[in-house]
Amino acid sequence: MEDTDILISGAGVAGPALAYWLNHYGFNVTVVEKAPALRPGGQAVDFKGETHLTVLERMGILEDVRRLQTGGADQEIVDANGRRLVVMPGEFTGGDLEIRRGDLSRLLYERTVAAGCEYVFGDSITSLTETAGGVHVTFERGAPRVFGLVVGADGIHSNVRRLAFGPESDYVRFLDYYYALVDIRGNFGTTAKMYNEPGRLVSTGGPKSAALFIFASQRLDYDRYDVEQMKRILLDAYAGMGWRTPEILGAVREADDVYVDSISQVRIDHYSKGRVVLLGDAAYGNTLGGFGTGLAMVGAYVLAGELAEAGGNHRVAFRRYEEGFREYAKIAKSGNAGPFLAPRTWRGIRMRNWIFRAGLLFKIMMRMADRFATDIRLKDYSSSVRR
């Protein structure tokens, strides 16, 4: 085995999923995460079709995910008076299996820590220098170390991608919308409800306890780690909006957990450069596209399996990973959830609502989603486990 010491940047979903498989195949894994701890809660994420469920089953976590699932509840789209206009079926937002992102992250973390993977929280990579035998890595806090390979599983704003490939502006396309997740307190009911005005959406209630906001906007300049600054963005963007929005904004003012980010796509020609490779949203992100978590989990399975099958030879493994996965990940290159979920006109809102009333059109959309989710042949890497 070559390059057995591997550093993964990012402890969300993609990173711990890859850590699980790499450890399974006999690699030594270290995961570094900028945040001081795992991020709890967050939006619900989902898995669709046989491919996603097969990967969960091969990891041995399918039943755990089922135990923690949120249920994929239907969501009511309402008017300003709270009257139901149409129902967005749970299968549209929840796939076959839905779980809160924080619960999935914690499940993967607990499995990998128990297996012996090393986690370093509250630190971040500051430089990557490739040598003949590895990558010399420096950190904000920790001492420099040398690893055989480095994996960027650190999201759409990937620090590893920036250091190894170039500035974010070269690879991330802003799609003229922002979204926000806010862990609000208050009685907003047990039924998830969504309200639109042109270019704006607010959703709350139900099992997805984080309130969701989506709004059209020009590019904003702000600190994604400054909670008060992000609160101000939401308060300004949603000023004057009807329904229960003033009440929801009041809960935003009191919230501790606020996250605002752009709706963007990653466009990159190659997933790897030398001994550095990208995984998940860092390589093929499409915010709120509905496939991100599934792509991350399947991508982790394929990348680790190819490394194991190639005996750690990164040149062979990275090439096979890209050849075998790029076609599957093409769904991330299309679509923008912003105009669908928060149309810019009243007419667009009415047309979107009509889709959920028109049973045949909705079924066609769901069949297309299933086809994209299963459009890959999963190799069986079980014989590659190092004894």
Per-residue pLDDT tens digits for 73-117: 788 999 999 999 999 887 776 677 888 889 999 999 999 999 999
Does residue 372 surpass a pLDDT of 70? no
What mean pLDDT is predicted for residues 326-344?
Answer: 87
Report residue 15 as tokens: 């990173």
From the list 58, 6, 13, the residue with the least C-alpha distance to 27 is 6
pLDDT per residue over 59-74, tens digit each? 999 999 999 988 667 8
pLDDT > 90? residue 303: yes
Length of the chain: 387
Among all chains, which residue has been given the structure tokens 């699932």? 69
Instruction: Tell me the per-residue pLDDT of 256-292, one tens digit each, with 9 for 90 and over.
Output: 889 999 999 999 999 999 999 999 999 999 888 777 8
Q: Give how far Cα 300 sits from Cα of 91, 188, 227, Å.
A: 25, 37, 31
What pLDDT is stored for residue 80 in this prediction?
A: 97
Alpha helices (runs of H) in 175-241, residue ranges in sequence order:
227-237
The residue ranking higher by pLDDT, 366 or 304, is: 304
Measured over the CA atoms of residue 108, residue 109, residue 115 and residue 118, the dihedral's sign is: positive
Say which residue the tokens 């796509």 belong to. 265
Query: CA 228: distance to chain centroid?
Result: 24
Band (387; pLDDT cuts 50, 70, 90): very low
Residue 50 reports pLDDT greater than 80: yes
| Pairing of β 97-100 and β 44-47 | antiparallel
DSSP E strands, the chain: 5-9, 28-33, 44-47, 75-78, 84-88, 97-100, 118-121, 125-130, 135-139, 145-147, 149-152, 172-183, 192-197, 200-204, 210-216, 258-266, 272-273, 276-278
The pLDDT of residue 45 is above 90? no
Query: How far is 201 from 182, CA to CA, in rounded Å?
Result: 14
Q: How remote is the C-alpha of 92 from its chain's centroid? A: 17
Closest CA to 299 of 333, 322, 269, 273: 322
And the tokens for 331? 């769904």
Which pLDDT belongs to residue 208?
55
